[in-house]
Amino acid sequence: GRLSLWGGRFSGGPADALAELSRSTHFDWRLALHDIAGSRAHARVLHAAGLLGDDDLSAMLAGLETLAADVESGAFRPAPDDEDVHTALERGLIERAGSDVGGRLRAGRSRNDQVATLVRMYLREHARTVGGLVLDVVDALMSQAQRHPAVAMPGRTHLQHAQPVLLAHHLLAHAWPLLRDVDRLRDWDRRAALSPYGSGALAGSSLGLDPEAVAADLGFAGSVDNSIDGTAARDVVAEFAFVTAMVAVDLSRLAEEVILWATKEFGFVTLDDSYSTGSSIMPQKKNPDVAELARGKAGRLVGNLTGLLTTLKGLPLAYNRDLQEDKEPVFDSIDTLEVLLPAFSGMVETLVFDADRLAALAPQGFSLATDIAEWLVREGVPFRVAHEVAGECVQVCESRGIELWDLSDDDLAAISGHLTPAVREVLTVEGSLASRDAKGGTAPVRVAEQLQRASDVASDA
């Protein structure tokens, strides 16, 4: 029959169909080494509580060490009859240390507090990996900004030409949200840094085991305050799913722009050959697949978050087997980002911008009209009037097929007595950029400061 952890009160083993449904080793096996680390820590508190003799502790730790080595080498694998990673590893320990020693380990713990702890350990490790990979994208954006300190481009709202901005300013506008995502991961870790181990099934342990000692052993800042909460809550997992989904959404926003920028119509960037793909039928094609996959995978990560929240909604306290569904979504989000992020930073790092085209398009679409209005305000004209006057300039230009800077002194004077030839100082991209010189603005001097601050934040992260 099956070697289960709960056979005692049952007259027979589970039906094949139930075993098939119940089994989780195909996705929770990745927690095996964390499970063994938890077992080591648990063995020590059993020993400290006088429930495990010196020799038994040594035998148990030796058995766990062999087991860990066999897991790592692949010599020990979950069997079809193992319900989950915890069940498989108890079998593995008993095979190595004997059933007398191996059978003592489970006292005072439950798979409920175990799995809640192991998931936190696993997520905390991968939060660091993912955070580092997000910072690589930030680095790529900052190095592109550094390489293009004075290149102007059309800034857009509603995807329409709005006002000229610096390319570096625009690129940094993608770096800041990613820096906040890294900060979110760090902040998340404060909440994830409490260990549920010792909560038992839900009510805590009667055996004098110290949850704080286990927590310290496993690299946590402390143990949870409430054993019911410790085994039942998954907000920490859901929050991780949110932050990783946010990372993907932030990447997808840049991805969409790269896809547009790489079209013939925009012609803003050329993708490096090593980060583009071809077509099996159209010999000329060079496709932005990295960006498209980023855009697509964002949907997948949002789905992982949504699925998990839906699983958690309305669950009564404490542990319910539904909670086993917490792992696959976040594992998938981690796997996806750990593959996507290196390709994405490589793509960003190797983008080649067409600086001349960007600069030539920057003042198109009457994008300096706001500069006329604000120049008038600086001359003492009320903004309502200034807006009207600048709008008239656009209308005149549009009807004649000319640009704002083509208006003659007479044209300007005819539109409004306030429009002296001095307005021309803001009718250049350089003048427009330089005038937006408050903190956070697109003036080159401010963008240089901004880049410095971004790189300070990145190196602190």
Q: Interface residues with ligand ARG (CB under 6 A)?
A: 24, 28, 84, 111-112, 115, 319, 321, 323-324
Closest separation between CB of residue 205 and ligand ARG, Å?
Answer: 16
Cis peptide before 448 (omega within 30 of 0): no
Q: 233 or 368, CB closer to ligand ARG?
A: 233
Q: Residue 270 is inside which H or E element, if any? A: strand 269-270
The one-letter amino acid at 242: F
Q: Are 179 and 136 in contact (CB under 8 A)?
A: no
Q: 33 or 394, CB closer to ligand ARG?
A: 33
Q: 151 or 323, CB closer to ligand ARG?
A: 323
Closest separation between CB of residue 34 and ligand ARG, Å?
Answer: 13
Strand partners, 156: 161
**Helix axes 444-460 and 111-147, enclosed angle (nearest 10):** 150
Closest separation between CB of residue 14 and ligand ARG, Å?
Answer: 12
Closest separation between CB of residue 461 and ligand ARG, Å?
Answer: 32
Closest separation between CB of residue 104 and ligand ARG, Å?
Answer: 20
Phi, psi of 23 (to 5 degrees): -65, 135
Q: 199 or 370, CB closer to ligand ARG?
A: 199
Distance of CA 423 to the CA centre of its chain: 46
Closest separation between CB of residue 125 and ligand ARG, Å?
Answer: 18
**Interior/surface letters 416-425, b for 16+ CB within 10 angstroms, e for the rest:** bebbeeebbe
Q: 23 or 418, CB closer to ligand ARG?
A: 23
Q: Which of the following is catalytic: 26, 73, 158, 459?
A: 158
CA–CA gap between residue 196 and residue 41 (Å, rounded): 13
Tokens 């020590």 correspond to what residue? 44
CA–CA gap between residue 79 and residue 6 (Å, rounded): 17
Record the tokens describing residue 445, joined without a space.
Answer: 């001097």
SS3 195: strand
Q: What is the DSSP letter of 437?
A: -
Query: For this structure, is 158 an active site residue?
Result: yes
Q: 231 or 442, CB closer to ligand ARG?
A: 231
Nearest to 272 by CA among 364, 353, 207: 353
Planar angle of CA 296, 124, 225, nearest 5 degrees: 125
Closest separation between CB of residue 52 and ligand ARG, Å?
Answer: 23
Nearest to 442 by CA among 167, 258, 97: 167
CA dihedral (213, 217, 222, 228) in degrees, to 10, reads -70
Q: 324 or 428, CB closer to ligand ARG?
A: 324
Active site residues: 158, 279
